[in-house]
Structure 1
């Protein structure tokens, strides 16, 4: 049996070596490319990449033009929960399976979201600046709000938001959530319509996948409908928020502040205006990061590829493809 080739499309902040070693030990060949994440940049493939049957994708853009050059690909594994870097329609048209990581860092991302909202509400950045400048209590001007009087709103109520509700809920007066795909409330969270979520949240935390429907979901109209002094937290995707509307909401005082782990077009430019905005806390897309999560992120995509190579199917796929004959013997 010919050794199947698995193409790692890009080297991210995650080391591809463990995943490649796992696949190669199981009977695969692997190759690492340097495909870009931004549209319009050239997509240069390594020699021989056209025989790849599966892809392991970090941030690289997987569009129709690229898939045309990779005619044997039947499976794509992402190194993230999101799979918005993949042209879903093009994958579906070719019967390609797409499997994302659904639970590699649930605990970590929920904890990071809680950390960001607490830092906002307690004005941690401002207090640290006072201390660094040689000041002390009398030099602090911001007065934090008491959490037990606030409503926490969760836009999206999947695994991460539900875990966040568990750990943050006891500190807030009320926790509400909106998710059209969740119908049963859990952890004492009240499910509400989108408009109610936007209008009634004092702290709004985003937990949405990036799709055509959610792109720019937090726009000027959404900000206009919010309570004055709301705090915004985003640990999902930068493109969920209209950047110009965000700046306008900060300038008008509608937003108390924003704390984000994601920005448009990552990595953002060194002079991105939000990097040094005193009203905004920006962390460098590290919500997923822990010693425990790294093993899942580096090895689970390769494990997902191996499952497909041995069975020709993928029951946990985000995008269902066509069943195929296995390319590796079962159990090897």
Structure 2
């Protein structure tokens, strides 16, 4: 088979090549950013390995030889799933490569906000040496933690962070009661925002969750709250977050993901003194990167061997 890597930040692609070589498959590398570029490069390919490049109706129509799209990552919002179904194309992801890393990053961001580590660090760099040189601090045991999304990562983040807080409330309409973590009180989305001193997001990006955290939800937060997002950038309205920071509704925000990456460097939130921003790095460790790359390629290998990838999201035609 001919397997096209549409785009990838990982070089060299030796791990992917080694996995595919087990089945005698050819690996071809492109550097696509647009659907038109993917459509051009994908002609004659049997399967795609995709990081950020969009895979749309245009791609499937132009490259009917493509029968599988395997994404480097959990989210598949860059792939038109309805178009994939219409064309009978399998779509697969890697749902479990960086669970511990993302949960750790979310909790690290949360604790950094709670203790105002960025503010205290700036104070020292400005030659100000005083324990109160920064935002007022509160004891977390007097506050409530909110977790929105309680899949693998959200549950682990709640398990690690909740003991510091007086209570933990969560929202996840997809999680059945028998899988609900006992240390988390189940609540509606608006109730979580109304009660929580700190909210961490662990949701997929869908048509329903796009821009979910905007002015209306942020207005429900207690004054002086914190928001952490290590999930998907499109969940959060950055302009609404900026307004909440400026009004004092938010004391701080920590974002590892943004709606557009890299961001608009002129956006006021990027350099805001109470915004902690990392470059979509929550998933990353040397071990998780290797696991992600091998599993994305193994989706292709197993599909070629058995007719089904390891982690199907859309089931295609045999």
Shorter-chain TM-score range: over 0.9
Question: Hey, what does 1:329 align to over in structure 2?
Answer: none
TM-score w.r.t. the length of structure 1 is 0.90
Structure 2, unaligned stretches of length 5 or more? none
Q: Does 1:151 align with 2:144?
A: yes
TM-score w.r.t. the length of structure 2 is 0.94
Over aligned residues, Cα RMSD in angstroms?
1.8
Question: Hey, what does 1:193 align to over in structure 2?
Answer: 188
Q: CA deviation at 1:139?
A: 6.2
SS at match of 2:314: coil
Question: Hey, what does 1:8 align to over in structure 2?
Answer: 5
Q: Does 1:231 align with 2:230?
A: no
Question: Hey, what does 1:23 align to over in structure 2?
Answer: 20
Structure 1, unaligned stretches of length 5 or more? 325-332
Q: CA deviation at 1:26?
A: 2.3
Aligned length: 316
For residues 1-332 of structure 1, what are the structure 2 equivalents within 5 Å?
A: 4-13=1-10, 15-36=12-33, 43=38, 45-46=40-41, 49-137=42-130, 140-184=133-177, 185-314=180-309, 316-322=311-317, 324=318
SS at match of 2:155: helix
Aligned pair in 2 of structure 1 residues 69, 239: CA closer, same or farther (>3 Å)? same
Q: Is the 8 A contact 2:123 2:134 kept in 1?
A: no
Instruction: String of CA shifts for 1:303-325, please: whole Å, max 9, x gaps.
Output: 11101110112363122222x2x
SS at match of 2:43: helix
In the alignment, the residues of structure 1 paired with residue 97 and residue 131 of structure 2 have an alpha-carbon distance, to the nearest angstrom, of 44
Q: CA deviation at 1:42?
A: 5.0
Instruction: String of CA shifts for 1:6-40, please: whole Å, max 9, x gaps.
Output: 11110225653311232134211111111116x7x
Q: Is the 8 A contact 1:33 1:45 kept in 2?
A: no
In the alignment, the residues of structure 2 paired with residue 139 and residue 243 of structure 1 have an alpha-carbon distance, to the nearest angstrom, of 29
Aligned pair in 2 of structure 1 residues 35, 213: CA closer, same or farther (>3 Å)? same
SS at match of 1:109: helix
